[in-house]
Amino acid sequence: MAETAVTLPSPDKRPWLEVGTFLTRYGSWLALALLILVNLAITPNFATWQTLNVNLTQVCTIVIVGVGMTLVIATGGIDLSVGALMAIAGALAPLIFLGKLFPLPHPLVGIALAFVIPLIATALLGLFNGWLITHLRIQPIIATLVLFIAGRGIAQVFTNGNLQVFNLPEFQFIGLGRLFGIPFQAILMVIIVVTVAWVLRRTVFGREVLAIGGNERAARLAGIPVASVKQRVYLISGVLSGLAGLIVIARNSAADANLVGLGMELDAIAAVAVGGTLLTGGRASVIGTLVGALIIQLVRYTLLANGVPDAAALVAKAAIIVLAVWLQRQNYR
Amino acid sequence: MAPLLHMHGISKHFAGIPALREAEFIVEKGEVHALIGQNGAGKSTLIKLLTGYYRRDAGEIVFDGRQVTFTSPQEAQGAGISTIYQEINLVPYRSVTENICLGREKRRFGLLDWPAMHQEAKALLARFRITIDVRRPLMAFPTAVQQMIAIARAIGFDAKLVIMDEPTSSLDEREVEVLFSVIRQLKGAGVSVIFVSHKLDELYAVCDRVTIMRDGRTVQTAPMSSISRLDLVTTMLGRELTQALQERPSPQPESETAPPALAVSHLVIGQKVRDVSFSVRPGEIVGLAGLLGAGRTETVRAVFGADRSDGGQVTFAGKQNAIGSPADAIRAGMGFCSEDRKLEGIIPDMSVRENLTLALLPQLARHGIVDEERSRAIVDRFIQRLGIRCSGPEQRIRELSGGNQQKVLLARWLCMNPKLLILDEPTRGIDVGAKAEILHLIRELAGQGLGVLMISSELEEVVEAASRIFVLRDGRTVAELEGDSLTEQSVMTAMAHGSGNERETAHG
């Protein structure tokens, strides 16, 4: 038999494929840049501190909760309880600094405890989520549904369903204060984003989170303490939710257990999804979550600032989510 | 009389690799014909060619007197070839009639013709001597009856040939009896059955003839009563009785006296492992041999702490029963490559570097921060040492070939400098070249004092690599073979019968 030289057809590089790869990788940045450009062109008074501050304060709590959600989703889980945990933290803090739970030796002690106790409480509730998932082996979506349902009820029991109004600048600094003219909550957000992004990239914990999301059985056989890592992830999500709850009530000078953090779980998940984190786990981008939240916020702002009603803005938000997730899917076919 | 089915000169390639080479398969009318062979011998391919699931490259199929080429399982079913799957999917809340007639309902004036359907269901079940009220919901009947109903549905009225591919793997003993009585009734009605199973007892209980497959060929067809278990196993695994003794590196003198790195005695895990004992000395390669379901994988998983055991002692590095999780095992100096690389080995989205250093992470970190420089140095060293072919340490592992993925997983353990490495099917799904490289590497490592515990379905491979082999059968250690008594023949004898010169294992 004669040997025939076969020239393999070189895989033709279709230009649209390259564009697709580029879009999936940098699409969210591109969209953000585009949105800013569009706004600079059409929205009056867009390039002002005022606008920046408004948008940053709107997006802060979503990003802070979204960072915790990113870690949870990176392990292949989900946390529906974040909004309810915000309400619990938001209900607890005023009870403490108003001295309704126990007498305060000094107002400053009350303020300190008003930060510490709610965060410990939400940390423990996050740990409870993790415990349900790792020890009772309940699906994350069901396990965190428990506190999604019960959490807001708990917050209402604390406050008898009353609106708590207060005026306490030392406490409210977290929501209203400014450093060098920048809202303190925005600084807090940036610190959290940078820290967690670094943790995910450089630490053993970060690597373990991604390994579990990537292949849980393989991770376990490689000696990774799967249960403990998962519990820590839900704990972190709980703490960050608590923090977001405190920011919200500080901003509003009031705590309403019915409203604090309402619908936050979906906003956070949307930000994570738009930011390019795989909902099946194993790949995550905290910076992406920040960008995702900014995109969603900016679209809403653009529409509102140009006279489109909020109801229509919600439809636009949904459309962005679909578009973003569809774009990311292109990589995994 | 012409046979019901004659498959002649059947060949099939997948991506250039032959799966079937001129296979011959003849099934007579009204016989129960066993089809056996190791994994990858070509049984499933042969059956899927027959039922139109695949298309053959060469050969011809004569079924019921005419030459056929089915293009889909539906077409084969229409011609009278029914396949029964392991899972039985019926609707428990609906009546027996509805279940039987699902998808082929009788209609009259656009409405369901219930009397006709009940009649048909009754008549069909009568063929299997089941007389029940077909209007009652399926769940009202015992599981065994439900099973029969499912089989009856699959076979219908027109089946001339019924294929059962490992039908008993999910059944308990009573249900197996029910199935066997169905098979006998089918046979009585002149229907032929092809029965695929790994369980020798079942083959002898119900089959008339057997065809043995190996490496894509049908190597022997014989009446069940004329072939001994040993011949069956020997033919299946492909070694002749006259096989010469293998030259084998004799165990190093120091390891003969050294205390075992791992000693397992009287291990029990549920129903699968009843009494398993063995030991591995430093610098020694020990094989665990046995047929599918003998309890090999269950045993090593329990040793590594991946699954719980229910009794017995596992002594590793001088400590007894100290391993409760893979993390414990790794800390004590054990590594484990699972048999399923994809499901339990690689993290597909992670890089070669991240996969390779996964188990080493705790040691690579200072205050929880990964020392990337050290990690890179280690990864570079192992890529070079094991000859891992990748574009670089940052390439995603899913893009590598099976053999190179396996090398990364070996490196995952080797970089920890373990005392014992457990390898469950280390060469499965790997091309021949990489296979040889990996086996060579394992031997080299043992030469440096690493204890290796190895499972492989390729008997030739274990017998060649191991200096001692423990044979498992039905969850028990039935033989320990070493030195001159360790031949493929002796291993196969022990796998088939237990061992004539059965020895108690002395260790532990």
Q: What confidence tier does B506 reach under pLDDT thresholds 50, 70, 90?
A: very low
> Which residues on A lie below 8 Å from B369 (Cβ)?
202-204
Average pLDDT over residues B23-31: 93
Q: H helices of B265-346, where?
A: 296-303, 326-332, 341-344
Q: What confidence tier does B336 reach under pLDDT thresholds 50, 70, 90?
A: very high
Q: What confidence tier does B172 reach under pLDDT thresholds 50, 70, 90?
A: low
Residue A14 lies in a domain: no
Range among A217-221, A261-265, B71-75 with highest mean pLDDT value:
A217-221
Indicate which of B347, B371, B376 best probes the interface with A, i.e. most A CBs within 10 Å of its own CB: B347
Tell me the residue type at A240. L
Q: Give yes or no for A224 touching B (CB within 8 A).
A: yes
User: Which percentage of chain B shows pLDDT scores above 70?
Assistant: 89
Among positive and negative, which fits the CA dihedral A28, A34, A37, A38?
A: negative
Average pLDDT over residues A132-157: 92
CB atoms within 10 A of CB B276: 31
Residue whose pair of structure tokens reads 């994350």 in the numeric block:
A140
pLDDT on residue B326:
93
pLDDT on residue A313:
79
Average pLDDT over residues B52-71: 90
> Which residues on A lie below 8 Å from B329 (Cβ)?
223
Higher pLDDT residue, A312 or B30? B30
pLDDT on residue B63:
92
Q: What confidence tier does B250 reach under pLDDT thresholds 50, 70, 90?
A: very low
Which has the closest alpha carbon to B457: B151, B33, B41? B41
Range among A114-118, B397-401, B436-440 with highest mean pLDDT value:
A114-118
Distances (CA, A) of B479 to A117, B82, B263: 64, 41, 16
Distance CA B123, CA B145 (A): 16
End-to-end Cα distance, chain B:
61
For the stretch A231-244, pLDDT in tens is: 999 999 999 999 99
Average pLDDT over residues A58-78: 94
For the stretch A111-140, pLDDT in tens is: 899 999 999 999 999 999 999 999 999 999
Average pLDDT over residues A244-257: 92
> Which residues on B lie below 8 Å from A205 (Cβ)?
368
Least confident of B176-180, B213-217, B252-256: B252-256
Q: How far is A29 from chain B (nearest CA, A)?
A: 22
Q: What confidence tier does B419 reach under pLDDT thresholds 50, 70, 90?
A: very high
| Cross-sheet strand order for the sheet of B32-36 | B81-84, B161-165, B192-196, B32-36, B209-214, B217-223
Cβ-contact A292, A30 below 8 angstroms: no
Distance CA A211, CA A1 (A): 51
Going by their DSSP bridges, the two strands B476-482 and B468-473 should be labelled as antiparallel
Distance CA B166, CA B86 (A): 7
Q: How far is B345 from chain A (nearest CA, A)?
A: 5
> Which residues on B lie below 8 Å from A218 (Cβ)?
338, 343-347, 358
Least confident of B20-29, B91-100, B236-245, B392-401: B236-245
Higher pLDDT residue, A250 or B238? A250
Nearest chain A residue to B340, by CA:
A218
Q: Give yes or no for A208 touching B (CB within 8 A).
A: yes
> Which residues on A lie below 8 Å from B344 (Cβ)?
215, 217-218, 221
> Which residues on B lie below 8 Å from A282 (Cβ)?
347-350
Q: How far is B372 from chain A (nearest CA, A)?
A: 8
Average pLDDT over residues B354-368: 90
Q: Give yes or no for A204 touching B (CB within 8 A).
A: yes
User: Which percentage of chain B shows pLDDT scores above 90?
Assistant: 30
Average pLDDT over residues B222-245: 72
Distance CA B449, CA A167 (A): 72
pLDDT on residue B171:
64
Which has the closest alpha carbon to B196: B88, B54, B58, B292? B292
The pTM of the full predicted model, rounded to 2 decimals, is 0.71
Does B358 contact A225 at a Cβ distance shorter than 8 Å?
no
pLDDT on residue B86:
57
Residue A153 lies in a domain: yes
- Between residues 298 and 327 of chain B, which touch chain A (CB distance below 8 Å)? 304, 306, 325-327
Of B306, B364, B370, the CB nearest to A221: B306
Indicate which of B297, B325, B341, B350 best probes the interface with A, i.e. most A CBs within 10 Å of its own CB: B350
Residue whose pair of structure tokens reads 């100096």 in the numeric block:
B333
Determine the angle formed by the axes of helices A82-97 and A140-159, rounding to 10 degrees.
30
Q: What confidence tier does B248 reach under pLDDT thresholds 50, 70, 90?
A: very low
Average pLDDT over residues B257-277: 86
Say whether pLDDT at B498 is over 70.
no
pLDDT on residue B111:
82
Say whether pLDDT at B11 is over 60.
yes
Residue A303 lies in a domain: no
Q: Give yes or no for A25 touching B (CB within 8 A).
A: no
Residues 6 or more apart whose Cβ sits within 8 Å of residue A91: A155, A156, A158, A159, A164, A255, A257, A260
Say whether pLDDT at A219 is over 50.
yes
Residue A116 lies in a domain: yes
pLDDT on residue A21:
64
Higher pLDDT residue, B243 or B217? B217
Domain boundaries, position A73: 60-262
CB atoms within 10 A of CB A3: 5
Distance CA B286, CA B480 (A): 10
Q: Give yes or no for A6 touching B (CB within 8 A).
A: no
Q: Give yes or no for A106 touching B (CB within 8 A).
A: no
Tally of domains in chain A: 1
Which has the closest alpha carbon to B231: B502, B503, B495? B495
Average pLDDT over residues A292-307: 86
Q: What confidence tier does B257 reach under pLDDT thresholds 50, 70, 90?
A: low
Q: How far is B292 from chain A (nearest CA, A)?
A: 23
> Which residues on B lie below 8 Å from A203 (Cβ)?
365, 368-370
Q: What confidence tier does A179 reach under pLDDT thresholds 50, 70, 90?
A: confident
Average pLDDT over residues A254-269: 90
Say whether pLDDT at B341 is over 60.
yes
Residue A196 lies in a domain: yes
The string of DSSP letters for B94-132 reads SBHHHHHHTTS--EETTEE-HHHHHHHHHHHHHHTT---
Residues 6 or more apart whose Cβ sits within 8 Å of residue A85: A122, A125, A126, A147, A151, A238, A241, A242, A245, A261
Of A203, A214, A222, the CB nearest to B370: A203
Q: What confidence tier does A331 reach under pLDDT thresholds 50, 70, 90?
A: low
Distances (CA, A) of B224 to B3, B167, B169, B194, B291: 18, 19, 21, 13, 19
Which has the closest alpha carbon to A146: A120, A160, A125? A125
Does A282 contact B347 at a Cβ distance shorter than 8 Å?
yes
Can you give the three-state secondary structure of B218-270, one letter per residue?
A: EEEEEEHHHCCHHHHHHHHHCCCCCCCCCCCCCCCHHHHHCCCCEEEEEEEEC
Supply φ then ψ for residue B54, to 5 degrees.
-115, 170
pLDDT on residue A230:
96
Q: What confidence tier does B241 reach under pLDDT thresholds 50, 70, 90?
A: very low
Residues 6 or more apart whose Cβ sits within 8 Å of residue B440: none
Higher pLDDT residue, A330 or B327? B327
Say whether pLDDT at B271 is over 50.
yes
For the stretch B445-467, pLDDT in tens is: 898 889 999 998 778 888 888 98
Q: How far is B370 from chain A (nearest CA, A)?
A: 5
Q: How far is A212 from chain B (nearest CA, A)?
A: 9
pLDDT on residue B245:
35
Can you give the three-state secondary structure of B420-440, one letter per residue?
A: EEEEECCCCCCCHHHHHHHHH
Q: What confidence tier does B288 reach under pLDDT thresholds 50, 70, 90?
A: very high
Of B306, B348, B368, the CB nearest to A215: B348
CB atoms within 10 A of CB A33: 11
> Which residues on A lie below 8 Å from B405 (Cβ)?
none
Long-range contacts of B394-400 (CB under 8 A, 24+ apart): B394/B351, B394/B352, B394/B353, B395/B351, B395/B352, B396/B348, B396/B349, B396/B350, B396/B351, B396/B352, B397/B346, B397/B347, B397/B348, B397/B350, B397/B351, B397/B352, B397/B355, B398/B346, B398/B348, B398/B349, B400/B352
Distance CA A219, CA A204 (A): 13
Nearest chain A residue to B339, by CA:
A218
| Cross-sheet strand order for the sheet of B17-27 | B17-27, B5-14, B58-63, B66-68
Q: Give yes or no for A209 touching B (CB within 8 A).
A: no
User: Which percentage of chain A shows pLDDT scores above 70?
Assistant: 91
pLDDT on residue B420:
94
CB atoms within 10 A of CB B225: 9
Which has the closest alpha carbon to A160: A260, A87, A257? A257
Say whether pLDDT at A5 is over 80.
no
**Two tokens at B63?**
């079924």
